[in-house]
Amino acid sequence: MDFGFRISPSSAINLDNVDLTLFERLHEMEPDVYKCMACGSCSATCPASVYSGMSIRKVILCLQRGREKEAFRMMKNCMLCGKCTMVCPRGINTRHLILSISKLYSETK
């Protein structure tokens, strides 16, 4: 049956073949990363997201999917204002999480 669309191979991610070592290292540094339920509260309050596409939710998802370069590119737009930390319903210190991700990025360079 043809529905008129298909998933392009470039956007499909085989999660069985993804290298999650960087995400696991982040979890060792910041156990709260597993608490994130991707609700989007952080992205909704982020002043940088409107202009640059910065989203800590997307950064975490990219790291979980093995897309480190995309995650690190988004991280450069963070202003570390801390608004995301104030609105997180799970109480994740997202500012500290962002700093830990930045530290991982500097180690992988």
Q: What is the pLDDT of residues 63-86, one digit of tens each?
A: 998 888 889 888 888 889 999 999
Q: What is the pTM of this model?
A: 0.80
For 35-67, how does the pLDDT look when each residue is reduced to its tens digit (9 = 90+)? 999 999 998 999 988 888 888 999 999 999 888
Q: What is the set of domains in the chain, with CATH numbers? A: 17-108 (1.10.1060.10)
Counting Cβ atoms within 10 Å, is residue 9 exposed (0-12), middle (13-18) or buried (19+)?
exposed
Alpha helix locations (H) across the chain? 21-29, 41-45, 49-52, 56-64, 68-75, 83-87, 94-108
Integer Cα distance of 15 and 92 in angstroms: 25
